[in-house]
Amino acid sequence: MGDPREGILRFFPGNASAPLSPGDTILAHAIRAGIPILSPCGGEGRCGKCRISVSGNVRGGDDPGVLSPEERRAGTRLACRCTPLGGEVGITVLPESRPARLSAYIEGKETAEDGPYLPLHVVPGKGNPLGVALDAGTSTLAGALIDLRNGSVLARAAADNPQMACGEDLISRIVFVEENPDGLALLRRLLLQGIGQVISDLLRSSSLTGEIVEFVAAGNTVVSHILYGLSPAPMRRPPHRPTLREYPAKTGKDLGIASAPSARLRIFPSIGGFVGGDIVSGILASGMHREDAVSLFYDVGTNGEVALGNREFRIACSSSAGPAFEGGEVACGMRAYPGAIDSVRIDPSSFEVSWTVIGGDKPSGVCGSGILDLCAELFRAGLIDRAGRFVPRAGAPFRDTDRGKAFIVARAGQNATDADILFTASDLKSVIRTKAALCAAAEALLEAVGFSREKVERVYIAGGFGNFLDLRSALTLGVFPPFPLEKFVLLGNASLAGAIGAIRNRKRWEEACALCASTDHHDLSSDLGFMELYQRALFIPHTDAERYSASLSPEATR
Ligand code: FES
């Protein structure tokens, strides 16, 4: 930790301060001080999302390869490339780089009945017994407070996962653990800080006071390992196995959850590799494991996981899709927070662009559903070809940038930033890679069990992104295989819904453990046919355009 006599950093908004530690970047200072700054690439200077403006003596961060000339002229810098040199340094985290919260991430449709109220385990405590259900997501921590006397939900709350400061995707976080001697401890501390924030928000908004005696967490394998104090590093290399698939129950005190020390804490077991307890919990909420009908289950978030099956069999995989649908890996991308463009229309004759913005104000970026709409509309308007390349037609709002051709989504005067909101050719490639990985993962599962698509009766879509998704846009691009629209069921945050169900009814917890044990993990990295399926899905909507467009009406595909 630095000596405050050498310098001090002041972060805005909030006016939090941190002593200067010579040689460290501003992002490293912010992480230590618990100041949230988006940093999807984990501080490697690639994503351009850790934007700040600075007053005082600093070096670097004005990278021409990542920031546009306008941004550099306006004094924007990258926190991960900028080093404070001494004295007092004022840092303003720019609005588009500040994580925020969104209530939509906490709503989940409980499609399957939780059954009679049968609490897991209620120990006598101080006052009313309370339970916490937590969806420990890569980007968002979403929780619910349960009255254990009757199973009712008293409050819901969500916060950004502060681990985002160490990388937006799971691989970046594993690399962070491997490259920093105290990386695991720091990631764990950030996670506990985020969980503490969710719990305090839950308790503050509940009319009932009491003691938290039950805690059920559903998370992906990496976040679950970190919560349990285990390094996720082994999962990065073949055979990509987690150290533990089941996590014996501990107390909140054992795991460092200060606001629930006496709670019994259970973490949903993992299916394997990158298919974690959040998928087990999501399947539990969908009820697909209790049905005769064969269903597909998609969890589309920062990562993408897919499961296929019914009461007799299940198989699941991780699609290695990038975070493009959570706004990551896309220059103008942001999460679905106020100020995000969430739907886009392009007039196919005038190429005029119109959009809606969450919160109704001027936009500062585009969230996943907006990105999906944007790509689908560009395709319908003939401004993207089937190979995923821009087709700059006369009158269409394209612009040359130092990163190549870009489509102008919103001009500087129309939005909340000082520059045009641009969608570049490399953004388009990220979206297409993400959609191809998701689509090919489902095709690979169907091939693995020898099923045709016609056998699938339902397609469940879970995850925050699923709340806002325009299915017609998704099918136009080929994000999913061409199922009829009526087969889709949007679940919202199914992982949280499953955790709530497991707190309310102990049989559901037992069911989750059993369904996890009987679900096969399909490792796509050793599936020889996957790469071909992926290559075919890199087209819009697919190399087999006729079959892939069949689920949409002609107007929808234009
Ligand atoms: S460019 Fe700074 S975190 Fe990605």
- State residue 95's pLDDT score: 67
Question: Do both 135 and 248 map to the same domain?
Answer: yes
Please answer whether residues 399 and 495 qualify as being in contact, where contact means their C-beta atoms are separated by less than 8 angstroms.
Answer: no
Boundary-marking domain end, from 425, 453, 474: 425
- Is 537 found in the same domain as 415? no
CATH of the domain at 483: 3.30.420.40
Identify whether residues 298 and 225 lie together within a single domain: no
Average pLDDT score over residue span 86-110: 68
| In a shared domain, residues 358 and 248 | no
On whether both 295 and 353 belong to a single domain, the answer is no
Q: Which two structure tokens, joined as six digits, stand for 59?
A: 């070096």
pLDDT tens for 372-389 read: 999 999 999 999 999 999
CA of 64 to the centre of ligand 1 (A): 13
- Structural domain includes residue 382: yes
Is any ligand 1 atom within 6 A of the Cβ of residue 46? yes
* 8 A C-beta contact, residue 247 and residue 269: yes
What is the pLDDT at residue 106? 53
CB of 50 within 6 A of ligand 1: the answer is yes
Number of domains the chain contains: 4
Residue type, 355: W
Residue with tokens 């991780």: 318
What pairing do the DSSP bridges indicate for beta strands 519-521 and 314-318?
A: parallel
Residue 32: CB within 6 Å of ligand 1?
no
pLDDT digit string (tens) for 528-557?
999 999 999 999 999 988 888 766 544 444
Answer whether residue 102 shows pLDDT above 60.
no
Give residue 304's pLDDT.
87
Check residue 551 and give its pLDDT.
61
Tell whether 82 and 143 lie within a shared domain: no
Give the mean pLDDT of 52-78: 88
Residue 4 has pLDDT above 80, yes or no: no
In this structure, the answer to whether residues 113 and 242 fall within a common structural domain is yes
Cβ contact 552:345 at 8 Å: no
Domain range holding 418?
326-425
DSSP β-ladder status, 152-160 and 140-147: antiparallel
Of 149-158, 333-342, 457-466, 513-522, the range with the highest mean pLDDT is 513-522
Domain annotation covers residue 277: yes
Average pLDDT over residues 201-212: 89
Answer yes or no: do 227 and 372 share one domain.
Answer: no
Mean pLDDT value of segment 488-507: 90
The CATH code of the domain that includes 40 is 3.10.20.30
**Minimum mean pLDDT range among 79-88, 263-272, 275-284, 397-406:** 397-406
Please report, rounded to a whole number, the percentage of residues in the chain having pLDDT higher than 90: 56
Banded pLDDT at 101 (limits 50, 70, 90): very low
The reply to whether the predicted model has a pTM over 0.85 is: no
> Of all protein residues, whose CA lies closest to atom 1 belonging to ligand 1?
45
State which amino acid sits at residue 1. M
Task: Mark which of 377, 398, 425 sits at the end of a domain.
Answer: 425
Q: What is the pLDDT of residue 555?
A: 41
| Ligand 1 binding pocket mutation candidate from 24, 29, 41 (most atoms within 8 A of CB) | 41
Residue 508 in contact with residue 115, Cβ under 8 Å? yes
Q: Can you tell me the mean pLDDT for 200-204?
A: 91
Are 221 and 184 found together in one domain? yes
